[in-house]
Chain A
Amino acid sequence: MPAKQSKLISGLLMICALFYGCQPLQSKSNDTVIADSTDQQQASPQESIETNTKSLTDNATQPVKKTFSSANKFNRLLKNKHTLNNSLSEDGIHDPNNPVTAILQSPHEAFASLPRAKSGNSVDWVKALESEMIKPRSDLYDPELKPLVMDLNIIREVKGSMPDVVFPHKQHTQILDCTNCHPSIFIPQKGANKMSMAKNLMGEMCGVCHGKVAFPLSRCTSCHSKKKPSREIKETKWKWP
């Protein structure tokens, strides 16, 4: 009998464990669902279950809240689910059995004071550089050497309905050298570079950096930032024949 009992208890506990385990994952994947579930997201998993049970018991006395079917549960804004890692040994790229990994700086620690962004490293690097929160050296040996900054915006007209692309040389020359891009990636001549988002996506042109180390292509309006001139509707005056 005790063996049977223990099996039963273990089975029940397993179900409980699975239930507990699933809760935080569900709330994570549905970041922007419905106002009803927001309270649960903020609460810790244990608390969320408590509120669940409460709501079940209170249903009898309080007016019934509107509940939505799971069809409404979709991350429609496709928000970035990336969260900062606390330890490097759990990030999936570092060997978890290597004890030395604990010495290395974790991104969580480094990014704590830097301005946040929604994608990429979750850090707005341009803002961080301009506000001098980070001061990267532009020479290996001379800490005082300042980069040659060229302030020139290139506007590229886009065929489709997206806003035109503004390429700021300023932000790029603050961290890069001319030879990084010219002439191997971009021919320094107007109209000589045929670009497309497909090329960018495959890691060519802008995609050499953007989408790998610089901010990803999902931040459309960071590049497509100049509104197109609105189409003028010509007024034709009707004349008496």
Chain B
Amino acid sequence: MQVKLTINLCLMLLAILMCTESKAEYGDVLLNNFSEASGMKPVVFPHWFHRIRYTCKVCHADLGFELKSGANRIKMIDILEGQFCGNCHNGELAWGSENCDLCHSGIADGETHIERSHLQKLLDTKIEQMQKAPE
């Protein structure tokens, strides 16, 4: 009994020691326009990963992505036809659309937003204030 308790508590202690402040990377986009409504997890788009490999212009001028999160209304059928992400994610330049979980890897119930953007921070504080304020 005591041994079990102590083991459990030691595990708890370890967990608390290990816990660190975790944050998503600056510029990560969570896309949930259609995903969860169609039974898939939201999509995480890491800007940092793509900008190491391609300049902004390739996607935002040549491929026609809007400069606003969620404004592109990307549907899976477009990607399969080779539009938007499908320009590269076709199994030749980058992984193909059969690897669902690699893109659809976001947290459940996430809203479309850019991680750690100024506007998002403002919105978050506003929401907090609204929740705190008595009606």
Contacts and interface: CB of A to CB of B under 8 A. Distances in A.
A19 to B, nearest CB: 10
Interface residues of B, number: 59
Nearest to A7: B5
A209 B62 contact: no
Contacts of A5: 2
Interface stretch (A60-68, A69-77, A131-139, A187-195): A131-139
Contacts of B93: 140
Interface in B1-40: 1-2, 5-6, 9-10, 12-13, 16-17, 19-28, 30
Contacts of B19: 21
A137 B53 contact: yes
Interface in A103-162: 103-105, 107, 110-111, 120-121, 123, 125, 134, 136-140, 147
A121 B118 contact: no
Interface residues of A, number: 66
Contacts of B21: 25, 28, 81, 83
A177 B65 CA distance: 13
Given A21-B16, A95-B108, A140 B56 contact: no
A100 interface: yes
A209 B26 CA distance: 12
B72 interface: no
A43 to B, nearest CB: 14
A98 B107 CA distance: 9
Contacts of B44: 93-94
Contact of B102 (A24, A103, A180): A103
A68 to B, nearest CB: 24
A120 B26 contact: yes
B58 interface: yes
Interface SS majority for chain B: mixed
B1 A6 contact: yes
Nearest to A16: B13
B119 A121 contact: no
Contact of B2 (A6, A101, A209, A213): A6
B9 A17 contact: yes
Given A14-B9, A93-B28, A120-B26, A211 B118 contact: yes
B25 to A, nearest CB: 5
Contacts of B63: 140
Contact of A174 (B22, B23, B55, B58): B55
A175 interface: yes
6 contacts: A9-B5, A83-B21, A94-B44, A95-B107, A121-B25, A140-B58
Interface of B: 1-2, 5-6, 9-10, 12-13, 16-17, 19-28, 30, 41, 44, 46-49, 51-58, 60-63, 67-69, 87-88, 93, 99, 101-102, 105-108, 110, 114-115, 117-119, 122
